Amino acid sequence: MKKIKIKFLLVYFVVNFLNNQAFSSKISNKQILELSDKHVTLFFNHLQTVCNSNKFYENLNNTFEHKFGKPTEWKKKCLTLEENKSAKDFKKFLIKNFKFKKIQEKSGLLTGYYEPIIRVSRNRDAFYKFPILNKNNFYTKKPRSFIEKNFKEKDVILWTDDEINLFFLHIQGSGIGEFPSKEKVKLVYNGNNDMSYKSIGKILIKKNYINRNNVNLFTIKKWLRANPTLSKEILHQNKRFIFFKEMSFGKDKNPIGAFGTPLEPNLSVAVDKNIYPLGLPFFIQMEKNESILPVISLDTGGAIIGPNRADLFFGSGEVAEKKAGILKKKIYLHAFIPYSN
Say which CATH number the domain at 194 has.
Answer: 2.40.240.50
Give yes or no for a contact between 155 and 214, defined as CB atoms under 8 angstroms apart.
no
Give residue 161's Cα distance to chain centre. 26
Buried b (16+ CB within 10 A) or exposed e, 279-303: bbbbbbbbbeeeebbbbbbbbbbbb
Phi first, then psi: give them for residue 326, nearest 5 degrees. -110, -5
Continuous segment of H or E residues that includes residue 299: strand 292-299
Residue 253 lies in a domain: no
In a domain, residue 148? The reply is yes
Domain count, the chain: 1
pLDDT for position 34: 94
In this structure, is residue 178 part of a structural domain? Answer: yes
Q: Residue 21: what pLDDT?
A: 44
* Buried/exposed 49-79: b ≥16 CB within 10 Å, e otherwise: bbbebeebbebbeeeeeeebbebebbebbbe
pLDDT of residue 25: 61
Per-residue tens of pLDDT for the chain, all 341 residues: 444 444 444 433 433 443 444 444 689 999 999 999 999 999 999 999 999 999 999 999 886 778 999 999 999 999 999 888 899 999 999 999 999 999 899 999 999 999 999 999 999 999 999 999 999 999 999 999 999 999 999 999 999 999 999 999 999 999 999 999 999 999 999 999 999 999 999 999 999 999 999 999 999 999 999 999 999 999 999 999 999 999 988 667 789 899 999 999 999 999 999 999 999 999 999 887 768 999 999 999 888 999 999 999 999 999 999 999 999 999 999 999 999 87
Please give the single-letter amino acid code of residue 111: T
Ordered alpha helix ranges (H), the chain:
2-23, 29-33, 37-51, 54-61, 71-79, 87-97, 144-150, 163-172, 200-206, 217-226, 228-236, 317-326
188 falls within a domain: yes
In a domain, 282, yes or no: no
Is 180 inside any structural domain? yes
Domain that holds residue 218: 115-247
Residue 98 lies in a domain: no
How distant is the alpha carbon of residue 280 from its chain centre?
Answer: 14
Whether residue 49 is contained in a domain is answered as no
Q: Rounded to whole angstroms, how far apart are CA atoms 32 and 50?
A: 20
